Amino acid sequence: MATHTEQLTTEAAPTVRLRGLTRSFDGRTVLDHVDLDLPAGQLTALLGHSGSGKSTLLRAIAGLDHEVVGSGGLSAPDRVSVVFQDSRLLPWRRVLDNVLLGADGKEAAERGRAALAEVGLAGRERAWPNELSGGEAQRAALARSLVREPELLLADEPFGALDALTRIRMHGLLRELWERHRPSVLLVTHDVDEAIVLADRVLVLDQGRIGLDLAIDRPHPRSYRDPLLGEYRERLLAALGVTEDHTEDHTDDKNDKDQEVHQ
């Protein structure tokens, strides 16, 4: 019994802990007493319908919702980085200067160059944001997040505006960066396939609460052709109130996706 107690007390604390988290806008409850733990080093995806509160939850964890009416307990680390759907690069600053925004210390420039090299943008340090493609801009945004060496990376539909092939490449890059740095990651997405290929755990937000908490127990790299991923997909679609009969036929997009997403 003594050994069991010791194991419990030495277990690592979660990176994020929410207890009874509630958020309201104009009298409408968006998050309704949400309880959630995000373990250290876990890549978690968050699904939900538009307006379900996904971005509200992310902004609450990031500490960006000071003007929102709310209550409940929230614990998050100090070193948090956020990546949005748009890169939010400042057009009047060169790529390296954008990556270094908010970074202090003599080694910041060196870390910035190293981060750009990690995301495949070595040699683009002096480029202007308008010289980058959409995928390159999101790579720069990821590099900016890495410079801060975050314990927690929050990603709010970071690949939603990219074309299908670029999105697949970015999936592989995100997973590779996670493998190297091992921050906790919360990825907000509307794409069920993106969630099951990237994440080890998928949450479904429904009417302000966590309606499903699903572990994806498949090894990486994952393939969209894996029939067992199809079983996870069906469960997630059901939790979202969608059946296969009502999904659109994205044959061309699926053909693009018929490749493995590498670490």
Q: Are residues 57 and 186 in the same domain?
A: yes
pLDDT band at 169 (very low <50, low <70, confident <90, very high): very high
Residue range of the domain that includes 235: 14-79+150-243
Element containing residue 222 per DSSP (H, E): strand 222-223
CATH number at residue 126: 1.20.1580.10
The rounded mean pLDDT for the chain is 88
Q: Does residue 237 sit within a domain?
A: yes
Average pLDDT for 4-27: 73
DSSP helix/strand/coil, 134: helix
pLDDT band at 249 (very low <50, low <70, confident <90, very high): very low
Q: Are residues 133 and 166 in the same domain?
A: no
Three-class SS of 28-74? EEEEEEEEEEECCCCEEEEECCCCCCHHHHHHHHHCCCCCCEEEEEE
Q: Does residue 263 sit within a domain?
A: no
Q: Does residue 253 sit within a domain?
A: no
pLDDT for 36 equals 97
Q: Are residues 156 and 229 in the same domain?
A: yes
Q: Rounded to whole angstroms, how far apart are CA atoms 99 and 231?
A: 40
Question: Per-residue pLDDT tens for 72-111?
Answer: 899 999 999 999 999 999 999 999 999 999 887 778 999 9
Question: Per-residue pLDDT tens for 175-229?
Answer: 999 999 999 999 999 999 999 999 999 999 998 999 999 999 999 888 878 888 9
pLDDT for 6 equals 34
